[in-house]
Structure 1
Amino acid sequence: MSNPKEKKPSLTRTLSLRVALSIGVGIMVGAGIFVFPGIASGEAGPAAILSFLLAGTIALIVALCTAELATAMPSSGGGYYFVSRTFGPFWGMLIGIGQWLGLVFASAFYLYGFGSYLIDLLKEIGYQPGDPIILIGLATAILLTFINIFGTKSAGKLQNNVVLILTGILTLLFLYGVLQALGIIGEASLPSPFAPNGFSPVFGVSALIFTSYLGFVQIATMGGEIINPQRNLPRALVGSVLIVLILYLLAIFVTNSVLPVDQLEELGETAIVEVARSLIGDIGALVVLFAGLLATFSSANASILSSSRTIFALSKDGLVPKWVSVIHQRFGTPHRAIFLVGLPIAGILFVGNLEVLAETASLLHLIIYGLICACVLKLRKEAPIWYVPGFKTPGYPALPAVGMLAGFGLIFFMKPLSIILGGAVLLVSAIFYFVYARGKKLSDPSPPHIDPKLRKPRILLPVSLPLEKSIPLAILKGFTNLEVLLLGYKELKEQTSPEQYEEEDDGETQAELNETRKDLEDEGFDVKTELVFTPDITQAIDNVILEYDCQALLVVKPIEELNRLLIPVYDINQISKSFATVIYELTKASNLPATLMIIESKEDSENDEVKDSSAINREAMKRLRQAGIDKNQIKSSSVQVSDISEAVKEKSKPDDLVILVEANAKERENFINKIRVEISDKIDCPLLVVLEERKQEEDSEPKDSPAEEVEKEDENDN
């Protein structure tokens, strides 16, 4: 860390499980449920139900993979965030721009559909308004843009209410149609024959109607704003797909029960209106048109909500300009990112050819879906230390592999023009990356399973006052994302009272400590200070470590430059996840090479108890790579010595940083003394000790009586 990174903007978790479900359902139950039943049935007949089932199964597989990734990386950005953290910023840029523009295209399509449904509804009730579809869509786009700016919670409530009404209307309509088809109401009219054109059209129709399932991944795009993401994200992702799948299966069944295949083929996208009219008369047509209004409105709202979070995430990562991710101080929303969704939608409404753009959006999403499944395959295999999902995809690796192949495979059933347009979006994204964002580094995810203090470790830096030389900043400048606890101490003689000395000191030592702190803060470090006057500095250090919960202890040396990390390893259990995480967090920005020094004890060799140093080396290398340290950074060597201090003295250089792990937290004072006397005083390079957490002994605290325990429980309940 040479300079701290600016605090990145973050969004508040205000979205409940119901709202998360409504976002996914709202996008998926859009124009698809009104347009595709007639078109799909016209091509495949009642067998179209298999097409929706096949597409829904693929969507469910992707939803399961998304749930795994989202619980490991519950941040805003969804598919973009997953892909960028798995395959790097280049692929992240392609997916991010594709996800953003794909939802912009889809939103324009939905809003145009909203205008069409409104005109048809007005005509159905006898009013002839002309044809202001574009103006209606434009006005609605502006309205939704400002609703989303005024607050995510407000937009979420609107989405939840609209989807609740919509799904209620559709469920009642389709259940009535099922009862009629089964003969429970009136005469039975089951669809027959099941596959009038054979089963070959089923796969082509699956590719056509897969656009109906686009949208559930956008729940993950809102991951940074969903309450309790570990529980709610998997439920929302899988639940939304299942809800929509059931609605689509009911719609296809009822459609084919009410009208014959040849009539459905003739009616095409308006078939569902005539199905409703056949079921309950003209009021049915009005109900479907009203439901179509709600569907397209909710799809557009959910798309704007999630699309803005994609461009917000791109900006947070520096792949697009930083001003995009500014959060409105009053409303707490990414208002500039929302404008970058609303304005293009308004412009596209005047372009036309929205069907082609909608299919292009589907193509871009299929690429995202395929890569999401690929992310699960890659991350499960490599198992980086930050990847600890709260939910795991069942059937690994088969299900993710099937989802990946199916997602990419359905692209080949798309129209050539859509494939060309999708390719053009990816090409422009690639060019923008190489011109603007090439070389950008992305921060690793910060999953809730890893203790935050390991992601921003607090380093204790003891310095004797008055300072003989200034603190060599070269030791710290390679580090990133840490907090320095500067412990200034004056080591007193045994007979000297600390209170008396502090009174005689008259603040001079404190002033010097403050000056040292200012020097560090001027270099951009986050610094806290503590001053002690003590005859026992070892005990003082131990007390401060416990009081401030420090994760590492740094013993400085007067060096000008740091060029290597030297990590002595004598037991593979040293390389714990916490140790590896701290090493990574301390060094990820410096890109310093690391050398593992495998220590073989001479005593063990003489007693024929030589440890398998090659096995220790392989396992240690693996754990450090899992922590995120590039394999090209790590080298290894072995040395036969009597103890660790001899090994460090023999192999260390003045420009090294020796990194040790604490041997036993319960015997910290003895360990610190050993560090000072046996190692630090014998070497010329600085030393970093990663500390174990020392938990308080249960027996050291008096236990409450049963009556006191009941009293505490009552207080907690109140």
Structure 2
Amino acid sequence: MSKSKQKQSTLARTISLKVALSIGVGIMVGAGIFVFPGIASGQAGPAAMLSFLLAGAIALIVALCTAELATAMPASGGGYYFVSRAFGPFWGILIGVGQWMGLVFASSFYLYGFASYLIDLLKETGLQFGDPLILIGIGTALLLTSINILGTKSAGKLQNSIVLVLTGILTLLFLYGMLQALGIMGATNLPKPFAPKGLSPVVGVTALIFTSYLGFVQIATVGGEIINPQKNLPRALVGSVLIVTALYLLALFVSNSVLSTAELGELGETAIVEVARGLIGDIGAMVVLFAGLLATLSSANASILSSSRTIFALSNDGLIPKWVSVIHERFKTPHRALFLVGLPITGIMFVGNLEVLAETASMLHLLIYGLICGCVLKLRKNRPIWYVPGFKSPAYPILPIVGLVASFGLIFFMRPVSLLLGGAVLLVSALFYLVYARGKTLATPSPSHIAPELRKPRILIPVSLPQKESLPLAILRSFTDLEVLVLGYKELPEQTDPGQYKDEEGDESKKQLEKVKKELEDEEFDVKTELVFTPDVSQAIDNVIVEHDCQALLVVKPISQLNRLLIPVYDINQLSKRFATVIYELTTASNLPASLLFLSGSKDSEDSEDKDGADISVMKREAISRLKQAGIHKHQIKTSLVEVANISDAVKEESKPEDLVILVEANANERETFINEIRGEISDKINCPLLVVLEKREKEEKQAEESPAEEQE
């Protein structure tokens, strides 16, 4: 890896669609059902359902915008990652720290609620243990942090199980209440009057209860670990908002059918317990207390998981110290980032009353939501070459503008003390940026449709020993990230025994190969080496390519400066995903032009000339289109025509010493013949390096397609 690039830690994709949904639903389903029905109904009556519907509509708009950004940038960090790539590191660190601390505040609030529900549930059973709220909260915070450190799969299974049980209990309870209210079971008792205090309180209540929708964006925070993100991220984001909105409306409808507006307002945050008691007696109260226990536990667990990924992303980008993003060698989780979430939560638990901190978390998240909508507006307008979303939010630009205005607008309905606390978090973040992170640059996202294994290509460099040609470091430095495999070889005469030669000259060849390796390691590339003594170099190269699954072969020629990529186009099928990936890496990192060289061949008649010209015109359009789809900017693509039919003659005629000629093998099953042709004809005729993009053989491709499916199962 080049020293000009930062080595980044990566997390495995282990989160399924079900777990992703449970993260979003798990964070949101707590306050919306177990705290706000009584408070909201007390202020607006049954019309509070409109408040939840309005908040859900705003959340859905933000979810659609988030889905677009997440499919273009399916990386850990969510809102932080999107904002930092659209608006730069300063806004990124404001949002990153805000997202981190917002979720820490929210987690403390959830765990305080968890302890309260546990104590109340024990009281319902006749057990009394005093009032150890803080100890229960701290113990649970440490337990959840430990579970998350042990593995994302373990945390995901816990989250999925909790949310399934929780939503099942709530759905059955509220469906029973709805059947009663509609008169299907017992006498009809619909909520009325609908708006006893008019419709004016609806907007104010929307700002109050928007805390209920803090959670769906956290699905994007773990986007770097979600399986098949192009499909599962939009489904999880939109699906989680729709599920919780339906549950909230059902809860409000049933609550207002069982108790009056005055009773709900008087009971406040405990109203839902009395609603359940009114439906099915004391057992109902115990069921709701148990469900509340699950809801707050689920919200805390999902918040801890998501918050740690924000810190992980900040550290990976170098905006906070790099040691934070170290991944545990055994558990493959960001254990240090998780500690930086779990420990602050245990400290904040000593504050006691955390409602203000919860509202501060809402304020910070509304700021994030507004900027997420702003990201869509900016990136759609600027169209950077890496922005290739697999999902696009509808009704652009109307929906993003509405989401931005609505998110920022709700902030002004919050209490001054919450605004001051949120402002303090942002101020500290800004000061930290000026002291530590000022001047930092961020890596450009890779197009999301390029397979992850191709974003770090393994390039094979055959080197004849002793080394005759200098290594093309100018080319290797152009890659964002890569692994170099050096094949040191000694080509022997047919009659020479390789084993005997190895015994006699092997030590000297090893020293020569180590010298080549050290030169590359001094440039901070990831380097592996192989040493062979053989009369058939082409076969040896073929064997190493298959054994190590190399994506490209670089034929060494001296080069001091790389100015252009020269790409002979002889078959449109050569512009495969793997081929486009290599071109993307080279053009993005160095802003080099990609010059497509079309071979017209010889002309025997005017008719054949017209036909060939038409074929080449079609090929040009298709080639340019494919490269643009891969994320290469139009201004970097040049085309030229050479009237020869032979590739070696074409590159000899057009190439310059500062070029890199790029070829792709036409048939991977005939690789050895192709390598012989490259070494014996093409390479000898040109004075510049040659990069050959290698395709998988049919058998290897089939095995590769089957492996991911087996792993997911």
Q: Same fold (TM over 0.5)?
A: yes
Q: Distance in 1 between matches of 2:178 and 2:56?
A: 20
Q: Distance in 2 between matches of 1:238 and 1:345?
A: 29
- Residues 127-146 of structure 1 aligned to structure 2 (within 5 Å): 133-146=133-146
Are 2:661 and 2:688, in contact at CA under 8 Å, matched by a contact in 1? no
Structure-2 residue corresponding to 1:514: 510
Structure-2 residue corresponding to 1:45: 45
Are 2:471 and 2:556, in contact at CA under 8 Å, matched by a contact in 1? yes
Shift of residue 191 of structure 1? Answer: 1.3
Structure-2 residue corresponding to 1:439: 440
Q: Distance in 2 between matches of 1:91 and 1:80?
A: 9
Structure-2 residue corresponding to 1:658: 660
Are 2:73 and 2:445, in contact at CA under 8 Å, matched by a contact in 1? no
Shift of residue 101 of structure 1? Answer: 0.8
Which amino acid letter does the alignment assign opposite residue 255 of structure 2? T
Q: Distance in 1 between matches of 2:672 and 2:317?
A: 43
Give per-residue Cα distances to partners, 1:244-279, cap 9 Å, x unaligned: 222211111112212233443344333333433433
CA distance 1:640–1:219, change in 2 (3 Å)? closer
CA distance 1:645–1:151, change in 2 (3 Å)? closer
Q: What SS does the corresponding residue of 1:527 show, helix, strand or coil? A: strand
Give per-residue Cα distances to partners, 1:210-245, cap 9 Å, x unaligned: 211211232333345556656655554444333322
CA distance 1:4–1:694, change in 2 (3 Å)? farther
Are 2:171 and 2:247, in contact at CA under 8 Å, matched by a contact in 1? yes
Q: Distance in 2 between matches of 1:199 and 1:631?
A: 53
Which amino acid letter does the alignment assign opposite residue 349 of structure 2? L
Which amino acid letter does the alignment assign opposite residue 481 of structure 1? D
Structure-2 residue corresponding to 1:317: 317
Structure 2: gaps spanning 5 or more residues: 702-713
Q: What SS does the corresponding residue of 2:350 show, helix, strand or coil? A: coil
Q: What SS does the corresponding residue of 1:216 show, helix, strand or coil? A: coil
CA distance 1:599–1:240, change in 2 (3 Å)? closer
Structure-2 residue corresponding to 1:716: none
Structure-2 residue corresponding to 1:567: 566
Q: Distance in 2 between matches of 1:121 and 1:670?
A: 76
Structure-1 residue corresponding to 2:461: 461
Which amino acid letter does the alignment assign opposite residue 502 of structure 1? P
Pick the aligned partner of 2:693 from 686, 690, 697. Answer: 690
- Comparing 46-55 and 662-671, the one that deviates more: 662-671
Are 1:598 and 1:613, in contact at CA under 8 Å, matched by a contact in 2? no
Q: Distance in 2 between matches of 1:622 and 1:405?
A: 37
CA distance 1:668–1:343, change in 2 (3 Å)? closer
- Comparing 172-181 and 217-226, the one that deviates more: 217-226
Structure-1 residue corresponding to 2:358: 358
Structure-2 residue corresponding to 1:584: 584
Structure-2 residue corresponding to 1:188: 188
- Residues 75-86 of structure 1 aligned to structure 2 (within 5 Å): 75-85=75-85
Q: Distance in 1 between matches of 2:563 and 2:283?
A: 77
CA distance 1:79–1:510, change in 2 (3 Å)? farther
Are 1:482 and 1:586, in contact at CA under 8 Å, matched by a contact in 2? no
**1:502 is aligned to 2:498:** yes
Give per-residue Cα distances to partners, 1:422-451, cap 9 Å, x unaligned: 34433433433343333243363585x534
- Residues 261-276 of structure 1 aligned to structure 2 (within 5 Å): 261-276=261-276
**1:34 is aligned to 2:31:** no
CA distance 1:240–1:267, change in 2 (3 Å)? same
Give the number of equivalent residue pairs. Answer: 687
Are 1:465 and 1:509, in contact at CA under 8 Å, matched by a contact in 2? no
Shift of residue 578 of structure 1? Answer: 3.2
Are 1:15 and 1:153, in contact at CA under 8 Å, matched by a contact in 2? yes
Structure-1 residue corresponding to 2:709: none
CA distance 1:157–1:468, change in 2 (3 Å)? closer
CA distance 1:4–1:188, change in 2 (3 Å)? same
CA distance 1:4–1:549, change in 2 (3 Å)? farther
Structure-2 residue corresponding to 1:278: 278
Are 1:105 and 1:361, in contact at CA under 8 Å, matched by a contact in 2? yes
Give per-residue Cα distances to partners, 1:450-494, cap 9 Å, x unaligned: 3455323333333334434554545534445333344445556xx
Are 2:21 and 2:236, in contact at CA under 8 Å, matched by a contact in 1? yes
Are 1:105 and 1:348, in contact at CA under 8 Å, matched by a contact in 2? yes
- Comparing 463-472 and 317-326, the one that deviates more: 463-472
Are 1:108 and 1:348, in contact at CA under 8 Å, matched by a contact in 2? yes
CA distance 1:92–1:603, change in 2 (3 Å)? farther
Computed over aligned residues only, the root mean square deviation of the Cα atoms, in angstroms, reads 4.4
Q: Distance in 2 between matches of 1:672 and 1:332?
A: 39
Q: What SS does the corresponding residue of 1:350 show, helix, strand or coil? A: helix
Are 2:465 and 2:512, in contact at CA under 8 Å, matched by a contact in 1? no
Which amino acid letter does the alignment assign opposite residue 505 of structure 1? Y
Are 2:665 and 2:693, in contact at CA under 8 Å, matched by a contact in 1? no
CA distance 1:416–1:593, change in 2 (3 Å)? farther
Shift of residue 410 of structure 1? Answer: 3.3
Are 2:67 and 2:233, in contact at CA under 8 Å, matched by a contact in 1? yes
Q: What SS does the corresponding residue of 1:29 show, helix, strand or coil? A: helix
Q: Distance in 1 between matches of 2:586 and 2:107?
A: 43
Q: Distance in 1 between matches of 2:699 and 2:156?
A: 45
Q: Distance in 2 between matches of 1:323 and 1:530?
A: 36
Shift of residue 557 of structure 1? Answer: 2.3
Q: What SS does the corresponding residue of 1:349 show, helix, strand or coil? A: helix
CA distance 1:21–1:679, change in 2 (3 Å)? closer
Q: What SS does the corresponding residue of 1:347 show, helix, strand or coil? A: helix
**1:22 is aligned to 2:25:** no
Structure-1 residue corresponding to 2:527: 526
- Residues 360-509 of structure 1 aligned to structure 2 (within 5 Å): 360-373=360-373, 382=383, 384=385, 387=388, 389=390, 402-437=402-437, 438-442=439-443, 444=445, 450-469=450-469, 471=471, 473-489=473-489, 497=494, 500-502=496-498, 505-507=501-503
Structure-1 residue corresponding to 2:705: none
Q: Distance in 1 between matches of 2:671 and 2:338?
A: 53
Q: Distance in 2 between matches of 1:19 and 1:8?
A: 25
CA distance 1:689–1:122, change in 2 (3 Å)? closer
Q: Distance in 1 between matches of 2:167 and 2:637?
A: 59
Are 2:665 and 2:692, in contact at CA under 8 Å, matched by a contact in 1? no
Q: Distance in 2 between matches of 1:234 and 1:597?
A: 37
Q: Distance in 1 between matches of 2:321 and 2:393?
A: 35
Give per-residue Cα distances to partners, 1:492-551, cap 9 Å, x unaligned: 6xxx635x353663545654543343223323242342536347x667766765676543
Q: What SS does the corresponding residue of 1:31 show, helix, strand or coil? A: helix
CA distance 1:638–1:435, change in 2 (3 Å)? farther
Structure-2 residue corresponding to 1:216: 216
How high is the sequence identity, in percent, across the aligned residues?
A: 68
Shift of residue 185 of structure 1? Answer: 3.4
Q: Distance in 1 between matches of 2:137 and 2:452?
A: 45
Are 2:460 and 2:484, in contact at CA under 8 Å, matched by a contact in 1? yes
Which amino acid letter does the alignment assign opposite residue 526 of structure 1? V
Which amino acid letter does the alignment assign opposite residue 566 of structure 2? I
Structure-2 residue corresponding to 1:175: 175
Scaled by the length of structure 2, the TM-score of the pair is 0.80
